[in-house]
Amino acid sequence: MLGVTNEGPQARVLIIDDDADAAEMLSRRLGVRRISATRASSGPDALRLLKEQTPDLVLLDFTMPVMDGLETLEAIRKHYSAAELPVIMVTAAGDRQIMLNAIGAGANDYVSKPIDFEVLMARVAVHLRVRSEFRRAMAEQGRLQRRLDNRARLEELGYGDTTKRNHLVEALRRAIATDEIELYYQPQLRLRQRTIESAEALMRWTSPQLGTVPADQFIPLAEDSGDIGMLTEWAVARAIRDHSALAAAGHRIRFAVNLSATVASNAGLVDRLLKQIAEAPKAISLELTESAIFDNPELAIIKLRRFAEAGIRVAIDDYGTGMSSLSYIQRLPVHELKIDRMFISKLTSSHRDPLLVRSTIELAHALDFEVVAEGVEDADTLALLSVMGCDSAQGYFVGSPMALPDFTAFLNAPERADQQAPFDVTSFLRTAIERNG
């Protein structure tokens, strides 16, 4: 937001104006106020740019050939509300009707030519502030909604009543102390190279009283009780230890640890995790869901940048289930997209999903992301993903989550021994089908 001292640009503005000199001058003056400006010379040009990146505010010239300001504004408003993307219309002096038309078509404000720069800056500041407050409110609503969902989920699982929940939380805390919690590893197959270079770390709780409690039952509880932070620090430490053990046995495997939204928004915790991982950046990568990022996008970008600078790889988890577009994610320093299993499990039976997955892979590659498909449960899906150029596959068909000894045995298995051979889909499928019975 304006007025906050920070490094880098405070905001991004898109200037849409056919007059190159005027736009250039304006963009230079905005630059002095640490606002970075992108320029578009026409309406169609601007709409193309908006597909790739969303600015924080638009300055739109009213009089343009081809597509005038009003038409451009109408096209913008089909995709972005006035709260999401403020537009300030630049009109000729004194034309009251134009000004009214602009406001009617969804402009947030207007300034008239010749532009009084101080007035423009004051208006820009107001609209950026409103927009950032709107975003904060949306994020807060998201957080509340997640907390409610979490509570509903706990209720569903039979932990609705407080006493029962407290018991379980107690049990969970003891479990951490008594090593009832373990990390299981689920292999990720690189499709072209036919190698396993990474695995997702997934928590398992085996309790003498409760039996095996799956992650999606106790993680919501730990998030609700605040224990997820401690659990995550434990998971990172354990994964680093297991990484070293595997390295000693000749396997270099990077482990992907999940970061909950509640963890990602805790600044102190993120700092500690960063320090922990920075000592072994090749051992650990992180998986964050979109909601973990959108809780607080500004903070998330700063944190993500620090992860990136420390050489830590970050993946967007469950991609496709959230609201964000690839064009927004493109602005984040992340390396990988994990397409949610919802799209992968129906890949060979649905008509729509293959197109969606293929275009996601293509677009992701164009933006320099690697793509991991999760929830690969059969040979056909794996073969189809290979053809689509997906980089890696994860799922029961490649391998279920396994305790470290089983995972080591999996890596040592004969069909994995010849990892130098070029990827041979047929032979991989054959061994995988045998393994899956």
Positions touching Ca ion (CB under 5 A) are: 258, 287, 317-318
Q: 83-118 burial string, b = 16+ CB within 10 Å, else e?
A: eebbbbbbbeeebeebbebbeebbbbbbbbbeeeee
Query: What is the smallest separation between the CB atom of 378 and ligand C2E, expressed in angstroms?
Result: 9
Each residue 271-310 as x (binds ligand C2E by CB under 6 A) or -, in order, gives: ----------------------------------------
260 binds, among ligand C2E, Ca ion, none (CB under 5 to 8 A by kind): ligand C2E
Q: In whole angstroms, how close is the CB of 50 to ligand C2E at the nearest point?
A: 31
Return d(Cα 182, Cα 79) in angstroms, integer: 46
Total residue length of the chain: 437
Residue 32 neighbours by CB distance under 10 Å = 8
214 makes contact, choosing from Ca ion, ligand C2E, none, with CB < 5 to 8 Å by partner type, with ligand C2E
Among 213-221, 305-313, 405-413, 422-430, the segment contacting ligand C2E (CB under 6 A)? 213-221
Among 233, 377, 406, 415, binds ligand C2E (CB under 6 A): 377
Q: Are 127 and 86 in contact (CB under 8 A)?
A: yes
Shortest separation between residue 395's beta carbon and ligand C2E, angstroms:
3
Q: Does 170 bind ligand C2E (CB under 6 A)?
A: no
Told to check if 317 binds ligand C2E by CB under 6 A, we report yes
The string over 359-384, giving b where at least 16 C-beta atoms fall within 10 Å of a residue's C-beta and e elsewhere, is ebbebbeeeebbbbbbbbbbbebbbb
Task: Establish if 395 lies at the interface with ligand C2E (CB under 6 A).
Answer: yes
Q: Choose the one of ligand C2E, Ca ion, none that binds residue 332, judging by a C-beta under 5 to 8 angstroms depending on kind.
A: none
Q: Are strands 284-289 and 254-259 parallel, antiparallel or unpaired?
A: parallel
Residue 85 or 329 with smaller CB distance to ligand C2E: 329
Q: 172, 401, 408, 410: which one contacts ligand C2E (CB under 6 A)?
A: 401
SS percent in the chain: helix, strand, coil, step 5: 50, 20, 30
383 to each of 57, 199, 265, 377, 424, how far by Cα in Å?
44, 20, 38, 11, 11
Between 57 and 284, CB nearer to Ca ion: 284
**By the rule CB under 6 A, 214 interacts with ligand C2E:** yes
Residue 396 CB, shortest distance to ligand C2E, in Å, is 4
Q: Which is nearer to ligand C2E, 326 or 402 (CB)?
A: 402
Could you say which of 108, 186, 285, 408 contacts ligand C2E (CB under 6 A)? 186
Nearest by Cα to 418 from 151, 195, 220, 192? 195
When the beta carbons of 17 and 317 are compared against ligand C2E, the nearer one is 317
Q: Among 52, 133, 216, 309, which residue interacts with ligand C2E (rule: CB under 6 A)?
A: 216
- Residue 39's contacts (CB-CB under 8 Å, 6 or more residues apart) are 14, 15, 16, 17, 20, 23, 24, 27
Q: How far is the CB of 323 from ligand C2E (least distance, A)?
A: 18
Tell me how far apart the alpha carbons of residues 117 and 20 are, in angstroms, rounded to a whole number.
17
Instruction: State the nearest-atom distance from the C-beta of 94 to ligand C2E, in Å.
Output: 58
72 lines the binding site for ligand C2E (CB under 6 A) = no
Q: Which 3 state secondary structure label does DSSP give 84?
A: coil
Q: CB 26 → ligand C2E: shortest distance, Å? A: 46
CB-CB contact of 435 with 385 (8 Å): no
Q: Which of 30, 196, 202, 361: binder of ligand C2E (CB under 6 A)?
A: 202
- Min CB(375)–Ca ion separation in Å: 8
Q: Of 190, 226, 217, 255, nearest to 404 (Cα)?
A: 255
List residues bridging with 316 in a β-sheet: 288, 337
Q: Which range of residues in 125-133, 209-217, 246-254, 319-327 is near ligand C2E by CB under 6 A?
A: 209-217
Q: How many CB atoms lie within 10 A of CB 427?
A: 13
Q: How many residues bind ligand C2E (CB under 6 A)?
A: 21
Residue/partner pairs of 418-421 with CB below 8 Å, 24 or more apart: 419/193, 419/194, 419/195, 421/194
H-helix segments, 53-161: 69-77, 96-104, 117-156
Interface with ligand C2E (CB under 6 A):
186, 202-203, 214-216, 219, 228, 232, 235, 258, 260, 317-318, 341, 375-377, 395-396, 401
